[in-house]
């Protein structure tokens, strides 16, 4: 499926009266505000009058903030086709660039929700309120996989906040309002409708992330990133994140329910995902027909990782997962998201179709390997125990007999990449999950143990060559060990 070409929005309330600190599921306290049941009943989302938009703008604008970011610029002099440098930079002198974005206050204590790409790489963040006061801010937690970030300011007083709503209850055609700072024009208010939901084919900036975007024609532009998308009740239902670079009137927002699922972890400074251990693919019309399925809904398991939670629970290639932990799985991306946000170590029920029959299986997701390696106190030995190759930024396992046969490799040859560390050497080199590594330089890679032995001889900072097989093709990539 071709991804929609997008440009990430360049970094350039109705006040919540519900309780803060109450629990959403009995486990984690809320860090945001919501409207009470009485307030919701008094302001139905379908009620739109001439004064509705003006009232929303007046009540919610104080909770929307302008974010100014300073980043280190790591560029170096590059030569154009005529030999002239595009720009000059003294490598010994730190250089900086500026960025603009939007955010919104989610509680009276000064917690602000925005996009990860707004604050990514920031060395300084300043928040400006609607009354022109400015405060320094710090990043509490940030997650590139969902493009969400939580930042905090200490204003010395209680601040107005925007209540979070329920993005699942949004209807296509429903009116919404966006407030943000497009092109640095503070507190610009635009209105439109929800033009679609569940846009999972959208890949902002080509970034691999969990996506289930709300599509809207409320005008959003560069600088709106991180701003709220608001329903007619005055609740935030989305976080504006991207626009379609090829057309006008098409913008995309992250559903607020996705943010609510991660806010307790962002507040702790780190998102820890759980790990199921399956590779999935969509149920196409032809696959549904061949398998005798009544619909194309569900996630088809293409492969199960050896010794993973899925393998231990008895999940098999060919199973079609239809529900996970009581929640519907309409496609492969739904399973990826639900498995990632389920609690590691907690048993969940998986409903699936196997040979056309409905089956239920209990599975206990584990902590994601990427999270295990990132834990404080991790050592090269503990990294290797979790499947991570020290200094390389990827996890790997030995190939199965069938995988070697499919790849045409002799016994013990090669390893399979199972995870990539965001921002690590493998990520920078372009490696992907599912790649088969055949050689490390001239020596052949004979399983994980063989790779570890070769890796021990490589000093940090040295660049090595890896022979990589991806599908039916193979080629060399260079990777600098950290």
How does pLDDT run across 336-345, given as a tens digit for each residue?
A: 889 988 888 8
410-420 tens-digit pLDDT = 877 899 998 88
Residue 213 sits in the same domain as residue 321: no
**Residue 429 within any structural domain of the chain:** yes
Yes or no: say if 165 and 234 are a contact pair by the CB < 8 Å rule: no
CATH code of the domain covering residue 50: 2.40.10.120
CATH code of the domain covering residue 439: 2.30.42.10
| Total domains present in the chain | 3
pLDDT one digit per residue (tens) for the chain, 482 residues? 444 333 344 344 334 444 455 554 556 677 888 888 888 887 777 667 767 889 999 999 999 999 999 986 544 333 333 333 333 334 444 556 677 899 999 999 999 999 998 998 888 999 999 999 999 999 999 998 889 999 999 999 999 999 999 999 999 999 999 999 888 788 899 999 999 998 877 766 556 677 789 999 988 887 888 999 999 999 999 999 887 666 567 889 999 999 998 999 999 888 888 889 888 888 888 888 888 888 999 999 888 888 889 999 999 988 999 999 999 999 888 898 899 888 888 999 999 999 889 999 999 998 876 544 333 333 333 344 447 888 898 999 888 887 888 888 887 789 999 888 877 889 888 898 889 999 998 889 998 989 998 988 888 888 888 999 888 777 888 888 88
pLDDT of residue 183: 80
CA count, 13 A, side-chain hemisphere, 194 = 27
Residue with tokens 């009740």: 233
Find the catalytic residue in 117, 219, 274, 435.
Answer: 117
**Residue 471 within any structural domain of the chain:** yes
Residue 386 sits in the same domain as residue 458: yes
Residue 296 sits in the same domain as residue 431: no
pLDDT of residue 388: 84
* Token pair in block for residue 211: 């996506």
Query: Against a cut of 0.95, is the pTM above it?
Result: no
Which residues pair with residue 362 across a beta bridge? 349
DSSP string, 221-252: -TT-TT-EEEETTS-EEEEEEEEETTSSS-EE
Q: Are strands 436-440 and 463-470 parallel, antiparallel or unpaired?
A: antiparallel
Residue 293 sits in the same domain as residue 256: no
Query: For this structure, is 325 an active site residue?
Result: no
Residue 221 sits in the same domain as residue 107: yes
Tell me how far apart the 2 most distant CA atoms of the chain are, in Å. 73
Give the phi and the psi of residue 401 in degrees, each rounded to 5: -60, -45
**Domain endpoint, select from 367, 396, 420:** 367
Query: For this structure, is 117 an active site residue?
Result: yes
pLDDT of residue 247: 58
pLDDT of residue 210: 79
Residue 94 sits in the same domain as residue 142: yes
Find the catalytic residue in 111, 143, 147, 334.
Answer: 147
Residue 14 sits in the same domain as residue 140: yes
Find the catalytic residue in 225, 308, 333, 342.
Answer: 225
**Domain endpoint, select from 342, 367, 392:** 367
H or E element in which residue 404 lies: helix 401-407
Yes or no: say if 403 and 435 are a contact pair by the CB < 8 Å rule: no
**Residue 372 within any structural domain of the chain:** no
* Strands (E) located in 118-227: 122-128, 134-143, 148-152, 175-180, 188-199, 213-216
**Residue 164 within any structural domain of the chain:** yes
Residue 278 sits in the same domain as residue 217: no
**Domain coverage including residue 404:** 377-480
Give the phi and the psi of residue 363 in degrees, each rounded to 5: -135, 145
**Domain endpoint, select from 227, 243, 268:** 268
**Residue 18 within any structural domain of the chain:** yes
């Amino acid at each position: 499926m071709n991804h929609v070409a997008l440009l990430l929005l360049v970094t350039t309330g109705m006040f919540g009266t519900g309780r803060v600190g109450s629990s959403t599921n009995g486990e984690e306290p809320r860090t945001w505000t919501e409207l009470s049941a009485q307030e919701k009943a008094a302001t139905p989302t379908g009620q739109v009058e001439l004064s509705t938009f003006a009232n929303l703008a007046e009540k919610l604008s104080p909770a929307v903030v302008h974010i100014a970011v300073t980043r280190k610029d790591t560029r170096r002099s590059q030569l154009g086709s005529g030999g002239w440098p595009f720009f000059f930079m003294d490598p010994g002198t730190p250089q900086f660039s500026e960025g603009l974005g939007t955010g919104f206050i989610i509680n009276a204590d000064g917690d602000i929700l925005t996009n990860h790409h707004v604050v990514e790489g920031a060395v300084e963040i300043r928040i400006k309120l609607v009354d022109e006061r400015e405060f320094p801010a710090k990043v509490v937690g940030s997650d590139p996989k969902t493009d969400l970030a939580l930042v905090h300011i200490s204003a010395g007083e209680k601040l107005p906040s925007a209540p979070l709503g329920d993005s699942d209850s949004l209807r296509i055609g429903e009116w919404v309002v966006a407030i943000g700072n497009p092109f640095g024009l503070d507190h610009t208010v635009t209105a439109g409708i929800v033009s679609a939901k569940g846009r999972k084919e959208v890949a902002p900036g080509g970034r691999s992330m969990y996506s289930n975007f709300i599509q809207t024609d409320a005008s959003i532009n560069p600088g709106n990133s991180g701003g709220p998308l608001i329903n007619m009740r005055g609740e935030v239902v989305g976080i504006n994140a991207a626009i379609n670079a090829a057309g006008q009137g098409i913008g995309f927002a992250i559903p607020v329910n996705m943010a609510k699922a991660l806010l307790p972890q962002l507040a702790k400074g780190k998102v820890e995902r759980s790990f199921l251990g399956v590779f999935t693919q969509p149920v196409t019309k032809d696959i549904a027909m061949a398998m005798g399925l009544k619909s194309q809904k569900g996630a088809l398991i293409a492969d199960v990782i050896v010794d993973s939670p899925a393998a231990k629970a008895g999940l098999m290639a060919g199973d079609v997962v239809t529900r996970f932990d009581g929640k519907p799985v309409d496609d492969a991306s739904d399973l990826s998201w639900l498995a990632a946000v389920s609690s590691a170590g907690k048993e969940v029920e998986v409903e699936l179709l196997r040979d056309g029959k409905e089956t239920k299986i209990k599975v206990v997701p584990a902590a994601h390997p990427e999270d295990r390696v990132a834990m404080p106190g991790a050592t090269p030995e503990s990294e290797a125990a979790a499947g991570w190759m020290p200094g390389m930024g990827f996890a790997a396992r030995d190939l199965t007999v069938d995988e070697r046969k499919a790849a045409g490799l002799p016994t013990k040859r090669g390893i399979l990449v199972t995870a990539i560390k965001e921002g690590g050497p493998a990520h920078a080199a372009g490696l992907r999950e599912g790649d088969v590594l055949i050689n490390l330089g001239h020596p052949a890679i004979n399983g994980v143990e063989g790779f570890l032995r070769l890796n021990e001889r490589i000093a940090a900072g040295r660049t090595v060559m890896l022979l990589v097989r991806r599908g039916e093709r193979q080629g060399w990539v260079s990777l600098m060990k950290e």
